[in-house]
Structure formats: structure tokens, C-alpha cells
Structure 1
Amino acid sequence: MNLRRLKYFVKIVDVGSLTLASEILHVAQPALSQQLATLEGEFNQKLLLRTQKGVVATEAGKVLYRHAQMILRQFDQARADVLNAGRSLAGQVSVGLAPGTAASTLALKLLQTVQGRHPQIVLHINENFGTTLCDVVRSGLMDMAVLYGGESPVQGLSFDPLLTEDLCVVAPAEMVSKPGDLALRDLRDVDLLLPCTNNQLRRYVDQAFAAAHVVPRVVAEMESASTLAAAIASGVGATILPFSVARSVAATSSVNVCRLVSPTIEVPLAMCVSDHLPLSEPAQVVKGILLELVGALDLQGGLHRTLLNHARVQVVDHE
């Protein structure tokens, strides 16, 4: 087995067609078919099935596809690290920031800082659900992610705790008369706009309501921050968010932000990386910058507890 053969196989699966893969790779289709047959012979497994619409991976092919992606990505990292040894850092680094988290408010600052310090690093920022981000980090398709959760072990992943935040209610003035503390039971008859049920933040909220024996009145589920802010401003309902995000939503309209008490709901923010795939040098530097920015978050009112030791956060600077 060689890297070229794996590259061909990945491209065939990606485009779902031997003919199209042949054109993209500039390899004659008979030669491409021969490479595929050799690969299937090496594994003694059928890797692709031909259909009227093209080709699809078999179960064995899907397994090889995942591993091939990781192998090719690691090789690209190794080649870039060797070529750039002693030079300015260069390469691609992917970072996942779960929407609705404190870290998601740092996307622009992260991009500006990386570009300012290491202009040859190409940063890819992905905002997606925490479960999806975990999957792509574990498979090696993304270098790191910042998301809520991480208390329970997950095979293939390592979590570093960053900080914890208290959850707040963001509501139109007619629903919540003034800022301050608000007991969870006071939300019993309030129309709520919450993330979907597979969202990690929603899970913390549902657990708190269940523990308080309160059934929330969820009138809509949404993930878009802009749509959420507009819905709250128009009086459709209230929402529950970490303070850092609640503050940014409240800044766009006239609403009240109240800290939830009785019980207080705390959510942990964590850095997620693969526990078996090493980070490239550029990725290590970007991770350091991200930790630096998270450690410097200004969450007013004592609504967060930073778990990082700011004095120990060091960013390696290669010139």
C-alpha cells in the first residue's frame, strides 16, 4: 500500500465516480481502476460498489476511508513541519468553536491574532454542534475544538477544562421586569426559545428543569444567534444562554439579562483534541493563542471561573 493509492481511493469516494475522479486526478480511468483493484487485493476486501449513479464505499471501504484521511493528513503535516523547520510557521490549522459558547465570541479575535503573529498560517474556523466537532476532531479532520462539556471520558479524545460559566435568562422587558437573579421556577410560564435537544447546552438546561420538577414551555428551537436575538427583541420569547453570549445578544436589542438561581446552572467550557494524533507545530501555536484569548475573556459580574493559570499560558512565537 502507498500514499498515492490511498489518495486515489479517497478522491473516488469523495466524488462518487471513477470517471470524475480520473479527470480530477489526471489519471487514465483504466490505470485508476487498476490501482483500486490492487488496493482491494492488499486488504482482501471489496472497498467500492458500482451503482447506476456511480460508486459508493462498502462497510470495509468506509473504515479505510476514515483511516486514509487521517494518514494523508498526518503525512501532509509531517511534510510541512519538515519543510518549515527553522522558518516562519506556515500551514493550515482548523479550529472548531461550538455556537453559543464563550469561545465562539472570540472567532474574529483569534483570526486577527493568528494573522498578525503568523501570517503564513491559514486558519479554518468551523462553528458547529459540539457532537459534530468531537467527531471531526477524533477522525483527524480538525485539529481542535472548544465546546461545552468534556466532563465524561470520550474514546479517542482528550479534554482540557478552560472555564465555567453561569447560565442567564435573556428576555424582553415585558416578560422579565428587571435585571437581577431569577429563580428557575419563575420560568414555568415563560415562552422559551432554546437550542435543539442534541445541543450540549440544551442538555444542561433540561437537566436543571428536571431536577427542579419544572416543565419548560419551549415554543421554538433555534441555533442562529442573529435569529434568536431578533426573536427576543420582537417579544416572541426568552432564552437561556451563558453570560458571555447573553451579553452579546443583549447588546443588539433592549432586553433584560438575569442570572439563573435556585438552582444556579454552571456549564464547563473545554478544549477538545485527539488523544492519539499529534498536533502540527502551527496547530500547537494556534492552540496556545486560543488558550491565551480564553484566559483573557472579560466576563463581568463574577459569572465565570477561569480554570487556566493565566501566568502559565505561554505562546511559542516562531519568527
Structure 2
Amino acid sequence: MDTRRLGYFVRVVDVGNITRAADSLHITQSALSQHISALESDFKTRLLERTGRGVQVTASGRSLYRYAQGILRLEKAARIDLRADNDAPAGLVTVGLASYSMAPGVAVPLLRAVRERYPNIHLQLIQNLTVVMSQAVLFGQVDMALIYDPGYVKGVVFDQVLKEEFHLVTSARTPRIGSRGDTVTLKEASRLDFIMPNELHTVRRVTDAAFHAAGLHCSVVAEVEPDTVLRDAVVNGLGATVLPLTAAREHFAPEEVRVYRFADTRLCTAMSLCTPEVQPLSHAAALVADLLRTLLLDASVPGRRAASA
């Protein structure tokens, strides 16, 4: 199979339009259409449906898209590995980071550590993917992912690295809730409007479950995926949200928000490092995983964090 065609197909899906994809690839539209037709002929199935506004991916196309991303990543990893000095650890290592968690906060420290110790390792840090992160690990789109532990998922393993406790976050512009300082009850919080990720996200599921168990309703007025949009919406008083304390500190300046601990329940879940169950990590990926575990351990132990500063 010509992996170049897979790359063309991925670009068309990402852009959603053959003409714009052809422009970005610096080839003609007719040539790109021929490559897509050749792929459809190879797989004996329709991958894209042409519409008046562009293209729509079929079910078969979505499956190929997932596998194509993994194949292209492995090809890139092989090229980097074969060009490198064999005496030093080298290769492409892709790490997925869960949104609305402390995971993005470890990105820069991890990048710094990899650059200092293993300069021949090419690190990719990814937060948003078209599939959930555990599936991305399974499909080979990423080597590992730092995510909320969803429980058993066939084909991957979860190494629990720390626990996250969720807090209520409101704009500093809005009145204080209750009279207990930095704590709030679920009933008090249920009177607020919330801005949250979609129903599939762990933060949303844990929050909804806590309110439901208390016989209360969590009024979600908007679902927001990009972290930066949620940050701006909360700061401007458009709604409250629920985040781990580490994520709240990462996203907001202290003067921008008020952060409350729940007085009558503990909303928490585990953060885990997700890796493939059968396929072993490459040498480079194993080294990055060890660095990541060390950074997370330092971040979770105040004394070690102070000593390393």
C-alpha cells in the first residue's frame, strides 16, 4: 500500500473538502480525487461521500482514518529512528493528554526533561483527537496517554499515577456562595448554571453522577470542548464549572475565580498512564514514560516538589 495515499486521505478528512485539501497538499484536485478513488478500489468500499459542501466520511472511511493515523505515525517514527545516531535513544514518541485535567500542566516540564536528557527523541504532545485517548493508544495513534481512568478497556492497561479531586469554580465577579468560605454543598451548587465538557467526558460523568446521587440536577447551559473557551466563559461569569484543583490552578489566575471544595461529597477520580496491553513500548517511549511518572510523582509530593525547585 502507498502510505502517501493514506496521508492524502487523512488530509481530506481533516479539511472536509477535496479542493482545499488539494491546495494544502500542492497537487491538483483531479490528482487527489484519483488517489482517493484508488484507495476505495483497494479496499473495495466507499470511503467518502461527495456533498455540495465538501465530503462526508462513511463508516468505512472513519475506520480507515483511525488506522491510517497510526500507520502514518509509525512510518514517521521509523524514519526518525533510522536517521538517528544509534548510540543515543531516538525515535518519535507521542503522548496524549486528557483535557480538563492536570495533564496539560505537565507538558512543558516533560518537554524540557526530554530535550535535556534525550535530544534525539522527537516528542509529540496531543490533547484533542477524533477518538477517545484510550482508543488512540489501542489504534497506535499515540504511544501512551495521561488520562482519567475509565475502568477496564480491552487492549490497553492503566497505571494509576495520582488521584484528582474536583472542585467548583466560579467567576470572581459573581457573589460568593454560602457562608462557609471555601466550601459549598451540592444543593447550593445546583442553583448555578454550568459550563461543562460533553457527556462522554469523565469530568462531566463524575459531576452528573454526584448530583444525581444527591437527588439534584446539574443545569448545564453550554458544552465546551476547548479549554481556553471554557476558561474565558467562566472568568466572564457566563457559568460555573467543575475541575480538578490542579487544572483550576493551571487555567485560572487566583484573582479571576473562586474555587470551592464540596462539603458534603468527594468528587474524585484517578489519573492513569494508559499504554498498549500487548505491543511493548519502544525504547524511546519507555524512557519518556519513566520521565513522565517521575514528574507526576514530584508534582504529587509537596516536599519533593520544593526540593526540586
Give the shorter-chain TM-score range. 0.7 to 0.9
d(CA) in 1 for partners of 2:188, 2:49: 59
CA RMSD of aligned residues (A): 4.0
d(CA) in 2 for partners of 1:250, 1:203: 23
Higher mean C-alpha deviation, range 78-87 or range 165-174: 78-87
d(CA) in 1 for partners of 2:285, 2:214: 43
Match of 1:164? 163
Does residue 90 of the first structure (1) align with residue 86 of the second (2)? no
Give ranges in structure 1 of 5+ residues lacking alignment: 301-309, 311-319
Instruction: Give yes or no for contact 2:10–2:68 (8 Å, CA) kept in 1.
Output: no
Does residue 198 of the first structure (1) align with residue 197 of the second (2)? no
Does residue 276 of the first structure (1) align with residue 272 of the second (2)? no
Q: TM-score, normalised by structure 2?
A: 0.74
d(CA) in 1 for partners of 2:8, 2:225: 34
Mapping 1:130-209, distance limit 5 Å: 132-151=132-151, 153-171=152-170, 172=172, 174-176=175-177, 179-209=181-211
Describe the shift of the 1:161–1:47 C-alpha distance in structure 2 as closer, same or farther (beyond 3 A).
same
Higher mean C-alpha deviation, range 239-248 or range 167-176: 167-176
Q: Give the SS at the match of 1:213.
A: coil
Q: Give the SS at the match of 1:290.
A: helix
Number of aligned positions between the proteins: 288
1:261 shift after superposition: 3.2
Match of 1:10? 6
Q: Give the SS at the match of 1:95.
A: strand
Which residue, out of 245, 250, 265, partners 2:267? 265
1:223 shift after superposition: 3.0
Match of 1:109? 109
Does residue 287 of the first structure (1) align with residue 289 of the second (2)? yes
| Residue identity in the other structure for 1:225 | D
Instruction: Give yes or no for contact 1:89–1:120 (8 Å, CA) kept in 2.
Output: yes
| Residue identity in the other structure for 1:148 | Y
| Residue identity in the other structure for 1:240 | V
Q: TM-score, normalised by structure 1?
A: 0.72
1:148 shift after superposition: 1.0
Q: Give the SS at the match of 1:297.
A: helix
Higher mean C-alpha deviation, range 231-240 or range 56-65: 56-65
Match of 2:15? none
d(CA) in 2 for partners of 1:13, 1:130: 15
d(CA) in 1 for partners of 2:51, 2:197: 40
Instruction: Give yes or no for contact 1:179–1:257 (8 Å, CA) kept in 2.
Output: no
d(CA) in 1 for partners of 2:57, 2:195: 40
Describe the shift of the 1:195–1:233 C-alpha distance in structure 2 as closer, same or farther (beyond 3 A).
same
1:84 shift after superposition: 5.3
Match of 2:255? 253
Q: Deviations over 1:141-186 (max 9, x none)?
A: 21111111232x2122221111111111112351426643322122
d(CA) in 2 for partners of 1:64, 1:224: 26
Describe the shift of the 1:77–1:242 C-alpha distance in structure 2 as closer, same or farther (beyond 3 A).
same
Match of 1:225? 227
Q: Deviations over 1:278-299 (max 9, x none)?
A: 3221111111111111111147
| Residue identity in the other structure for 1:228 | L
Q: Deviations over 1:47-101 (max 9, x none)?
A: 8799899999987787677656656655665676577575112222111111111
In the TM superposition, structure 1's runs of 4+ consecutive aligned residues that sit over 4 Å from their partners are: 45-86
Give ranges in structure 2 of 5+ residues lacking alignment: 13-17, 305-309
Mapping 1:49-60, distance limit 5 Å: none
Describe the shift of the 1:58–1:257 C-alpha distance in structure 2 as closer, same or farther (beyond 3 A).
closer
> Identity over the aligned pairs, expressed in percent?
31
Describe the shift of the 1:264–1:88 C-alpha distance in structure 2 as closer, same or farther (beyond 3 A).
same
Instruction: Give yes or no for contact 1:130–1:199 (8 Å, CA) kept in 2.
Output: no
